Chain A
């Protein structure tokens, strides 16, 4: 489990780096093509990328603590059973 933390960090950093670079790239592209070589798309793109990476990182780190619920339709026949059911499904946001 302890390795997971480190792996998470690895993933996180890698992901962030990739996203930042990707954003930067997209920003460069956009800056070059659309926005007449302004600087703001770079920082915007890198910022976007960084932010996405940070958010992803945070979500990754938070993921154990996230509780997923689902709505269950209450049917007249199996009230008790259904009410007591709590499914904990994890959605893997694999990156």
Chain B
């Protein structure tokens, strides 16, 4: 082993030694060659670098040189004439800052109008039914204040509006047009009004009665109190007079004075009572007056007499009260005079008493108790005093007499004044009373007059109503006639219309019915036709099916060909086909187009033909050179030689068009072989048909067989296609 290894090494070495000498020349050659090649390449590269055109030429002509040159020199330089785009790029204009459109600040939010001013309450003022109940039109004027436009924004406006509205509420303007309301409504309204009136009057009367009763009571009370006061005053004055003038015993005097005081007290109490009662009465009278005024304000006619009566009562009461008050006042004034007189008397007495007491201090105060206790001095003094007093009094009297007139005048004046005052008061009161009386009278008269007038008006109105009813009746009659005529016309027209419509409808119905009938009939017909055609189609389908079956049988029988054995004679199958298409000319024609040979003998299969061809091919090759002109044995020899020496492709795809050089038998045979291998018997036959001469004679029967097969197959295919078509045509798609 080692030896074996060494030997190659040594042999190599030897070889190397042996070739060493020779290697110098060889290496020289190699080196020279390499140098030349590299020099050439380097020179080419350098020159290409210098001369661009040369480089382009080299790159164009020598493959892969562009890669080499690119590697060595870098990519080819661009033409400097072209503008350099990248450097001189226009700077992109700075993007415009979008000015944000300043949204205008939304206008101050529209202040919603302050909560819509509450609609002023619609005050429906019922205009009282001044008109009589007979005339239907009653004006109810709804007063709707002018609606305020609340959409105006500002609050101010709204306020103004508010105020305006309030102002307008005062002057209600009718916004709805007055419209006459139906009778029932009117009647209802009237009834309602009457009811209301009744209610009101009832209430008013009740209130009046109440207030009358109360005021009457109060007045009576007052009058009673006044009477009592009067009595008390009179009593008091009487008592006072008595006390002044009567000369009675001291005990009785004291009794008298007590009585007087009692009477005074009585008088004061009576007076107070009277005053209180008077005030109460006045109050009640005032209330009565207010009630009366209220009820007067209602302005309802039925209340008026009550009001009137109440007023009269009031007046009477007032009159009585005033009378009593006057009486009391006169009594009071009398009492005042009397009291004044008594005051004077008392004053005089007191003075006298003082004088007496001054004269006679030991005399007791009560000069009535003086009798029996006085001394002569005292008596003298007293008499002197009395004389002096008498003198004084005489003088005073004289003075008084002198001043009497003045005093009287003054007193008269005073009296006159007082009388005047009293007179004035009396006159005033009397005037008032008279005024009241007159007014009441007037009112009474007015009421009476009103009643009379109302009665008259009622009669007139009744007359008018009668006239109206007559007129209305006449008008109604006329209207009735007119309306009847109109209604009849309308009716007749409507009837006509209805009739025409009815007729139209019936006609339409009839038409529709006939249409429907027609359509139904047509459809029925269609259905029948369809069924018939179906039947026919089924028949056809059945026939087609039979045909197809027979054709299938025929085509199946074609397949029964085994290798080198023809198929069964196709006569039976063809007969079956002919039977199944007795009335079909096309199929009959086709069926009769089957070649006789195939019917009698059968056809060969394609496989057998193919196999046969392969064996024929060699024979055909061998006699390829023999034809009419060349058919000696020498030619046979040459032909054999040619076949032996000439090689062609066993299979070659035939071109779509045969040229003259393709008509060479060898080529033809290879084409035909190719076709046969690819199952194209027809083309193979066609190609084989191009053979000429002996080769043709040799393949003649094969050709005939192939033709037969092709023909049969074509016919069968046609029949099958036809059967399929017919079958497809007759089958109905599901």
Report if A94 contacts B (CB, 8 A). no
Which residues from chain B contact A64 at a C-beta distance below 8 Å? Answer: 694, 697
Which residues from chain A contact B694 at a C-beta distance below 8 Å? Answer: 64
Report if B13 contacts A (CB, 8 A). no
Interface contact B628-A58, CB-CB below 8 Å: no
Partner of A2, one of B615, B628, B631, B636: B615
Report if B504 contacts A (CB, 8 A). no
Report if B570 contacts A (CB, 8 A). no
Interface contact B699-A62, CB-CB below 8 Å: no
For residue B444, give the distance in angstroms from its CB to the closest CB of chain A.
168
Report if B619 contacts A (CB, 8 A). yes
Partner of A57, one of B633, B699, B700: B633
How far is B702's CA from A62's CA once the two chains are assembled, in angstroms? Answer: 21
Partner of A1, one of B615, B626, B633, B701: B701
User: How big is chain B's contact interface, by range?
Assistant: 10 to 19
C-beta contact mask, B580-623 vs A, less than 8 Å → 1, else 0? Answer: 00000000000000000000000000000000000110010001
Interface contact A5-B633, CB-CB below 8 Å: no
Interface contact A62-B615, CB-CB below 8 Å: no
Which A residue's beta carbon lies closest to that of B620? A2
Interface contact A5-B636, CB-CB below 8 Å: no
How far is B626's CA from A62's CA once the two chains are assembled, in angstroms? Answer: 9
Partner of B631, one of A5, A54, A65: A65
Report if B632 contacts A (CB, 8 A). yes
Interface contact B701-A58, CB-CB below 8 Å: no
What is B's interface to A at a CB cutoff of 8 Å? 615-616, 619, 623, 626-628, 631-633, 636, 694, 697-702
Report if A30 contacts B (CB, 8 A). no
A-B pair count, CB < 8 Å, reads 32
How far is B626's CA from A58's CA once the two chains are assembled, in angstroms? Answer: 12
Partner of A61, one of B619, B628, B636: B636
Which residues from chain B contact A62 at a C-beta distance below 8 Å? Answer: 631-632
Please tell me the number of chain A residues within 8 Å of chain B, measured between CB atoms. 10
Partner of B701, one of A2, A54, A65: A2
Chain A interface, DSSP helix/strand/loop, else mixed: helix
Partner of B699, one of A1, A54, A58, A61: A1
Q: Looking at B616, B627, B631, B700, which has the most chain A CB atoms within 10 Å of its CB?
A: B631
Q: Given contacts A64-B697, A65-B628, are A2 and B702 in contact (CB under 8 A)? A: yes
How far is B694's CA from A40's CA once the two chains are assembled, in angstroms? Answer: 38
Which residues from chain B contact A57 at a C-beta distance below 8 Å? Answer: 633
Which A residue's beta carbon lies closest to that of B633? A58
Which residues from chain A contact B631 at a C-beta distance below 8 Å? Answer: 58, 61-62, 65
How far is B599's CA from A50's CA once the two chains are assembled, in angstroms? Answer: 48
How far is B521's CA from A94's CA once the two chains are assembled, in angstroms? Answer: 87
Which B residue's beta carbon lies closest to that of A55? B633
For residue A54, give the distance in angstroms from its CB to the closest CB of chain B.
6
Interface contact A1-B702, CB-CB below 8 Å: yes
Interface contact A58-B632, CB-CB below 8 Å: yes
Which residues from chain B contact A54 at a C-beta distance below 8 Å? Answer: 633
Report, nearest first, the 10 A-B pairs whose CB atoms are least far apart: A1-B701, A65-B628, A62-B631, A58-B633, A1-B700, A2-B619, A2-B616, A2-B698, A58-B632, A65-B631
How far is B634's CA from A67's CA once the two chains are assembled, in angstroms? Answer: 21
How far is B90's CA from A67's CA once the two chains are assembled, in angstroms? Answer: 98
Which residues from chain B contact A5 at a C-beta distance below 8 Å? Answer: 619, 623, 698
Interface contact B636-A1, CB-CB below 8 Å: no
